[in-house]
Structure 1
């Protein structure tokens, strides 16, 4: 029988989860220029938007100003005038327009007006109190609105950046480690049978394995496929979504689709996880490895020779 991946005891999972949580805290508390950069970029966008739209002062905003806002790439800042901010998708639906792509919207005055009407209806009265009073903003009001809006956009961008960077970094660590073991990355393919996919000493990223996408797929020495999901969790609560509702669900699907003798579902973890969630995922057939101890992954791969 092919070698099975490790199954960790409660004590081992508890220790690994503690190490991972400590690393997560250290990384988040480390000095970074990201916040300052995001705030500066957001501030510049809102200052330009205020300039283009005449500080949202009485008299209305004409079509030329609206078109200029989108032409100058200020659509994101424009959406953040709402309280709370509106997403691209929501704005398109609420305005009932075919597209909010700047190149399209800036040339369609009717659509521009519909979009502006939506924003005007839900504009944040706390950041822009002068609008309700039909007056021009005082310098103090303008500065307060710029500050609050810039912080709001910068915070959202940081949150998105952390989510994206966390996953990207985790995948990069796994791929770099596999490369250090002598494996070679190959272009992704759709894997419908066990004979398809990466060959001996190869791996692929973002591969379609059956009907589910795997972050990294490795051809083990005994010809099985190791399907690795790269997960980063920022809280014990979030670990349920990342691990149990995503990676473990994929594991069950792959085991049912390809069989336990053909595929090994696994997760490479970083961040904060509740031990109970780790135990549950492991019981459902998911092999667990940690970014702070990828040698355990290497040992399993070596054992399949």
Structure 2
């Protein structure tokens, strides 16, 4: 008899979700402050250098060709605005890329547009002296440096956290699969069953049908389990990551490969609402938890010829 993927009751989802949320809280409380402090010092130095080279921003246009070519100073320039301007938004608003060649083009016209875009959104509370056309006081300069470095460091840490959480989760799943005797193979596009890894193999970051999966596992009985790794920091965020992404992919994969071949799954960590978990499961998505990888292992052990 073919092994059936686990389906969880509301009570089981409730216990698992509570455990996952508790682990999320513990992780967030234990995250070292050093990561932020190190980032803050780096950004503080960049802001100080930027103010020094531009005479407290009075010569920002004049110094644009110099400061915009240094990545750290370019980041500091983006955080002069409030809210800060992302690199992608700045490219759009300034109608240029941020490459050295683009900034140099047409006698630095692109660089001037970058500065114009930033100054248009300049935070007047942090840099009051610019609009008043005067030098800053020592206290104003220090307050501006501290506030700007703090904003940049916070954003940097948050971005790194989102990226590393997902990457770490994928790596843990990959390591676990290897520990269960599965072999990792290079990724490939899988348009049909003939493109799948061999039974007992898996690959990462692969196109499964028309949608990319974080991992694709070929069970030993020949079925394919595309796995999406999802880390959520709130129940609202979980709707986007689980229901609007992973569950939608599950429906597509089942249509493309059929229920006899495809076993869409998601590996979860963080905060999820029970109602959203139930809805995703009802759409054909098998759910596992990062804190209980042995449930995944038990199914894979049972899925044999």
1:263 aligned counterpart, secondary structure: coil
Q: Which residue of 1 aligns with 2:45?
A: 44
Determine whether 1:229 maps to 2:228: yes
Under a length normalisation based on structure 2, what TM-score does the superposition of the two structures give?
A: 0.95
Residue in 1 that maps onto 2:13: 13
- Show the counterpart of 1:158: 157
Shift >6 Å, 4+ stretches: none
TM (norm. structure 1) is 0.95
Following TM superposition, by how much is the alpha carbon of 1:56 offset from its aligned partner in structure 2, in angstroms?
Answer: 1.2
Residue 72 of structure 1 is matched in structure 2 by: 70
Unaligned runs of 5+ in 2: none
Deviations 1:65-117 (A, max 9, x none): 111112222211111111111122222222223x2224531564211112111
Partner of 1:105: 103
Point out the more displaced range, 172-181 or 195-204: 195-204
Pair 1:84 & 2:83 matched: yes
Output one character per residue of 1:237-279: Cα deviation in whole Å (capped at 9) or x when no partner.
1110110001000000000111000110000100011011000
1:166-210 Cα offsets, whole Å, 9 max, x none, are 101110110000010111111110000012121122100000011
Matched with 1:53 is: 54
**Structure 1 gap ranges (5+):** none
SS of the residue aligned with 1:67?
A: helix
- Residue 11 of structure 2 aligns to a residue in which SS? helix
How far apart are the structure 1 equivalents of 2:85 and 2:213?
Answer: 31
Q: Is the 8 A contact 1:239 1:272 kept in 2?
A: yes
Cα contact 1:71–1:106 (8 A) shared by 2: no
Match of 1:35 in 2: 36
TM-fit CA distance, 1:62: 4.3
Q: Is the 8 A contact 2:230 2:268 kept in 1?
A: yes
Provide the rounded CA distance (Å) in 2 between the counterparts of 1:70 and 1:131: 19
Number of residue-to-residue matches in the alignment: 301
Separation of aligned partners in 2, 1:178 and 1:288: 16
Deviation per CA, 1:134-183, whole angstroms, max 9, x where unpaired? 00111100000001101111111111111101101110110000010111
Cα pair 1:47 1:146 within 8 Å, conserved: yes
Cross-structure match for 1:252: 251
Partner residue in 1 for 2:196:
197
Contact 1:225 1:262 in 2 (8 A): yes
CA distance in 2, matches of 1:273, 1:229: 15
Contact 1:214/1:229, CA 8 A, preserved across alignment: yes
Mapped contact 2:102–2:110 kept (Cα < 8 A): no
